[in-house]
Each structure stands twice: as C-alpha cells, then as structure tokens.
Chains A and B, each alone.
Chain A
Amino acid sequence: MQDLGISVLFRGINFQRLLLGLWVTLRIALITIGISAVLGLLFGLAMMSRSRAARAVCRIWLEIIRFMPQLVLLYLVYFGFARLFGWNLDGETSAVLVFSFWGTAEMGDLFRGALTSIPRHQRESAAALGLTRAQINRYILLPQTVRRLVPQAINLSTRIIKTTALVKMINVTEVLKVGQQIIGQFYREPSAAFWVYATVFLLYFLICWPISLLAGRLEILWEGNHH
C-alpha cells in the first residue's frame, strides 16, 4: 500500500499536472509581486507626502489589509463584485487584484520604513557637501534605501507566494487544488494524500527556500552598511 501511494505521483500525467498547477501559482505570484513593487513605491511616497488626505487614505488602506483576512477579500472581489457590479472576474484576475491590493500596501510600508530609517545626518552631510537635492537622492538616499528594502521585499515575495494557496478557494486550479484533485481520483490509495501533499510542500519549499537564502545573503552582505 505504501508503495502504491507514492506511485500515484508518477501515474499518467499527474506530475506534469502538479507542475502546471505550480506554474499557475507562480504566475499569480509574479504578476502580483511586479505590480506591488511598482505601485508600492508610489504608495510609500504617498505615505510620506505632505497631503494629509493622501496619508489618511494610505493609513486606512494599510489598516484594511492588516485586519482583513485575505480570504475574505478574495471572496468579496470574486463573488461580491460579480453580483454587485456585474463584473465577471475570473479567479486568477480576482486573485491578482486582491494580492496586489495587499502587496502594494505592504511594499509601500517597507519602502517608507527603509527610507525613513536612514539617519537624518546622511542627508545633511550630503547637503553640506553642496550636492543638489536630486544628487542627494541619487547618490545617498536611493542606494541606502535599496539596501534596506531589497531583503525585506524578498521576504514579502515569499509570503505572497505562500498566500496564493488561498486561490483554490475561488476555483483557481493552482498546485494545491491539482493535488487535491489527484487525491480525489485515487481515493483508493489512502497514502496518496500524504505523498501528494508532501510533494506540494516540497515544491513550495524549492521555490521559496532559495529566495529566502538570497535575502539572507544580501542582508549579511550589506549588514553594517547602515551603522
């Protein structure tokens, strides 16, 4: 029985199906990360803007994504928007929308944190050298912000990848959903569940681990570069 369980993985195109599911996962995650990176910078700038209204909007946005479970947001967009506005968003689009809404705010907050953690003296001693504002941004603030931001942004990216598992709840056939389908088809092999989930686990691990290693490396490489 034990052997039969693991063999399920290699029966037919089961493994390819899992990989295809993984690709759906990654596609959602990558698009989300791309959108969040770009909009996150704008969000971060808005958080630091002089306009109180802009800051308030960001604050509320950030609170919403911090307190609202992702799943509720997914349901709200996927089922709610369809009913309310007659938008028929497919699952993947809904997922990218919701996750980008979340990722943008988180990325923006990281960006703001990275920039504001640079000691005031950095800007001032650059100014004291007679550099223009643009030169200070380019040579002093931007490189130091990037060094602080990138490791954290990478960690956020692994969180986004993990969170995409939720999209199976709105009928997107990503890797976890595929796994469950396979288990369903082979319900006669009780140990199939273990092997399929273990494989899904391994796939997630293989994706997230190197990314997380990279973040750690960068952190060590740049450590002490901020006092």
Chain B
Amino acid sequence: MEPILRVKDIHKSFDGTGVLKGVSLEIHEGEVVVIIGPSGCGKSTLLRCINGLERIDRGEILLRDRRISGLEKDMHLVRQKIGMVFQSYDLFPHMKVMDNLLLGPTKALKRSREETEAEAMQMLSRVGLADKAQALPRTLSGGQKQRVALVRAMLMHPELLLLDEITAALDPEMVSEVLNVVIDLAEEGMTMAIVTHEMRFAEAVADRVLFMEDGVIAEEGGPEEFFREPRTERARQFLQSFTYASARKKEKADSGNPGSGKIR
C-alpha cells in the first residue's frame, strides 16, 4: 500500500547550521511512528517541516503522492489534512473551549456549525471534558488544555496527526490523562507521528520507533526490539539515561503515585 506520508532526504539549516541532514521516512495509513532522540537533534524541526511551518532547503515531502514541500499559496489546504499539537498550551485564550474547537472546521473547512458542534460535544465527553465546553482556556489545567488541543486537531479529521512533546510542559500527574487519549486514538487507527520523551508511552503506542541523532535518523525499528536491544551504541546510551530516570520515578510510584492507567 502507498504510504500516506513520504519524506525524502530533507535538509534544513538555521543560519548555516545544519539541523536536518538528510532525513527520509515513510508513514503508512494507521501507523504510529514515534520519534525519539536527545534534545536539539531536530525532532521538532522535522515535524514543523512536515506541516510547512519551516521551509526545507533540500529534499521533498509528499502527502499521498502529492508534493507538499515548497508550496507557497496552498499550504493551508495541506495543513487542513495534517493536524498538529505542540508542547506549549496553544489554545486561543480569547475564545471559549467550544469556539476553539469550531474555528478550524467552520472557517477552514466551511462545515456547518450545528453538525460540528454535536461532534465536538461528543469528542469532549469522550476525553472527559463535556462540562468545559463553555469554559475559557485560562480556567483549565494543563492536562485539560492539551486534551482540548487534541480534540481540536481531531475535529479537522486529519489524515495525519503530528504530536510534538505534548506532555513535556505538564505536571507529572497530568501526563497520563493526556497520553491515554493518544493511545485511544492509536487504537482507533489514527495515523500519527509522535515526538515524546515518555519512554513507556512510546513503547506502548509505537508501531515503529525512529531514533534521531544530530539531524539524521540513526536507528529505526519495532518498539520491542528497539527498547529491548537497540542496535546502535548511541541509542543504547540514550535509553540508559531514561532507565536511570524511570528507576527513580518507579520509587515514587511505589510510594503511592496516582494510577497511570493504560501506560505500563
């Protein structure tokens, strides 16, 4: 089957410093690709290039065989098919939750308000936020905001969803409520590219793991093999730094951390 997304040897530099140095990847329908790697290796830049927030210097990006890199005028049409949620809480602060949700579908896709509102309510209740439809974003917790941001992206019915460390700015106890939503989406067959530092989540959700290092994909594999025995030394070291961190986390969990649900 044809992949939904094809990234072919893309290069990107900022002020002469190479950040992406020849990245290629494919994502198939229903696949969840998790991208991990040390800070500054270019993960965010990769996602931002895919939905055109950054222009690439070289290479090509195809969405269902249509070239989407280097588009000038019609990039917004492409972005309607690629959802993205960022690390920072990026709800529109001057709009109620429901208006945040309706903006894209009604203005960009010109869908009817009533129909979208019904769907929005349904999705809000699925993420446990039905009572927040008329709330202003500033009254929500970080975890609630990110769940709304996920619903907002999903209401566009994207073909591909890009998630860039969506729990990195959250207090630890809110991480799982957001990641559980992502796991549900994965189970429903949503195609996703996910950048995360939550290794247990990565292992649980990934169909494939890409390990990035210094602007290239240094290793690629299924989650079991990658997390059990990574082939490259760098990936091994990288994972090691988390075993240490998670050993400490585990101690905390034993002393009564509220349940982390599906994430084992």
Q: Are A131 and B90 in contact (CB under 8 A)?
A: no
- Which residue from chain A places its CB closest to the CB of B105 in the assembled complex? A129
The reply to whether the CB of B200 lies closer than 8 angstroms to some CB of chain A is no
Tell yes or no: B71 within 8 A of A by CB. Answer: no
- Note all chain A residues with C-beta closer than 8 A to B156: 129-130
**From residue 123 to 178 of chain A, which have CB atoms closer than 8 A to chain B?**
124-133, 135, 139-140, 143-144, 147
| A50 in the interface (beta carbon within 8 A) | no
Comparing A18-26, A55-63, A197-205, A219-227, the segment that makes contact with chain B is A219-227
A76 to B90, CA, bound (A): 50
A125 close to B107 (CB less than 8 A): no
A125-B86 contact given A135-B108, A140-B92, A225-B136, CB 8 Å threshold: yes
A225 touches B94 (CB 8 A): yes
In the complex, the answer to whether B109 meets A124 with C-beta atoms within 8 Å is no
Q: For this complex, into which size category does the number of interface residues on chain B fall?
A: 20 to 34
Is A121 located at the chain interface by the 8 A CB criterion?
Answer: yes
Once bound together, how far apart are the Cα atoms of A139 and B153, in whole Å? Answer: 17
For chain A, the count of residues having a C-beta within 8 Å of the partner chain is 24
- Contact between chains at B108 and A131 (CB < 8 Å): yes
Q: Is B239 an interface residue (CB 8 A)?
A: no
A:94-140 near B, CB below 8 Å: 119, 121-122, 124-133, 135, 139-140
Assembled-state Cα–Cα distance A129/B104 (Å): 5
A121 and B86 contacting across the interface, CB-CB below 8 Å: yes
Q: Which residues of A contact B61 (CB under 8 A)?
A: none
CB-nearest residue of chain A to B104: A129
**Contact across chains for A130 and B86 when beta carbons are under 8 A apart:** no
Provide the bound-state CA to CA distance between A126 and B53, in Å: 11
Chain A at the B interface: SS class: helix
Question: A130-B80, A131-B76 given as contacts; is B108 within 8 A of A125 (CB)?
Answer: no
The answer on a CB contact under 8 Å between A144 and B93 is yes
B-chain residues with CB within 8 Å of residue A225 when the two chains form the complex: 93-94, 136, 138
A30 to B231, CA, bound (A): 73
20 contacts between A and B (CB under 8 A): A121-B86, A121-B88, A124-B53, A125-B84, A126-B103, A128-B53, A128-B83, A128-B153, A129-B79, A129-B152, A130-B77, A130-B108, A130-B156, A131-B76, A144-B94, A147-B94, A222-B94, A224-B93, A225-B138, A226-B93
Given contacts A128-B82, A227-B138, 18 further A-B contacts (CB under 8 A): A121-B88, A125-B84, A125-B86, A125-B91, A127-B79, A128-B53, A128-B84, A129-B79, A129-B80, A129-B103, A129-B104, A130-B81, A131-B108, A135-B107, A144-B93, A144-B94, A147-B94, A227-B93
